[in-house]
Amino acid sequence: MSESDNKMNSLRKTMRKFSGQLPRAEGEGTRTVTQYETDIENLQAQVKALEEEMFHLRRRLEQTPKEFEFLRTKLSQSREQLDQAQHQNERLVGALSQAKEQIAALRAEVDKLAAPPSSYGTILQTHPDDTVDVWTGGRKLKVNVTPGVDPAELQRGREVILNEALNIVDLGRGDLQGEIVRLKEHLDEGRVMVTLRADEERVVELAAGLGGTSLQAGDLLRLDSKAGVVLEKLPKAEVEDLVLEEVPNITYTDIGGLAAQIDQIRDAIELPVLYAEHFAAHKLAPPKGVLLYGPPGCGKTLIAKAVANALA
């Protein structure tokens, strides 16, 4: 029995004693005690209910700090998990970006490898309608130019790159090879006559880059024989090494013991120069050169100087 029950029983006994001492009318005392007992029982029930409610409130009050601590720990763990998830998400985003870049690079490489081969050509002429005549694959073609190519760079003799549709898509670095020819004479602006091998002559065009270059007969030129365009003027270092800066003072009288050899050399070298009209009248072709051979000190250099002195 709880403390409240003991108190209620004690209160009930006290009320009974008190009611027994009071003067009562007929039936009145019984009703009063019964009413008091009923009220006391109701109060006792209310007190008991309040005590139970207080008990539950105390338990909840005792459990609240534990629940709060648990929730706070749970919140801290959730925040840590959220931070980890954010860091992992950032790493995944970075890895995804790198993967996209690698895929794009690989796709570009695949497209590059799968693209058809490009061909090279040499510009022959440009037209006002933005078309260009090029020489490629042994053919002269009139082609179009893609917008990405600078029209100012499209000059005669310039190497260009053509796509599969034979349109100019880029500029080439320029071919460094070619046939070496010798300039014979100017014909008009942009055209010259050159001498090829075996004295073969050909009329070719000058590249736009040679427009302001001083060209003289005998200059060495680099020719694109397929396109028929002179691309470059070459230095005459090898020829200049053979040109005498001054006339030697050696004469035939300074050479002794080589009269027969001197006569042969004079007939082969001097006569075609001194009597060129007679050789032409008789259709005699002069020799293209003379080879002097012999051991050192036999007079080869002296004879060459004497010939140069005689023809100077």
119-171 and 179-240: identical CATH topology: yes
* Confidence band of 143 (pLDDT split at 50, 70, 90): very high
> Average pLDDT of 15-20?
57
> Average pLDDT of 113-121?
82
Task: Check residue 11 and give its pLDDT.
Answer: 59
CA dist 11 and 71 (Å) reads: 47
Annotated domain spans of the chain: 3-111, 119-171, 179-240, 244-311
What dihedral do alpha carbons 45, 51, 54, 59 form, nearest 10°? -120
pLDDT 10s digits, 185-223:
888 878 889 988 877 889 998 888 887 778 888 888 899
Q: 119-171: which CATH topology? A: OB fold (Dihydrolipoamide Acetyltransferase, E2P) (2.40.50)
pLDDT 10s digits, 175-190:
788 888 988 888 887 8
Residue type, 161: I
* Confidence band of 132 (pLDDT split at 50, 70, 90): very high
Q: Is the pLDDT of residue 102 over 60?
A: yes
Among 26-30, 136-140, 288-292, the least confident range: 26-30
CB 107 within 8 A of CB 198: no
Task: Check residue 110 and give its pLDDT.
Answer: 85
Strand ranges (E), the chain: 119-126, 132-136, 139-143, 159-162, 168-171, 179-188, 191-195, 201-206, 220-224, 229-234
Averaged pLDDT score across all residues of the chain? 81
Classify 179-240 by CATH class.
mainly beta
Task: Check residue 92 and give its pLDDT.
Answer: 92
CA dist 246 and 306 (Å) reads: 13
Task: Check residue 131 and give its pLDDT.
Answer: 92
Tokens 């409130």, residue? 57
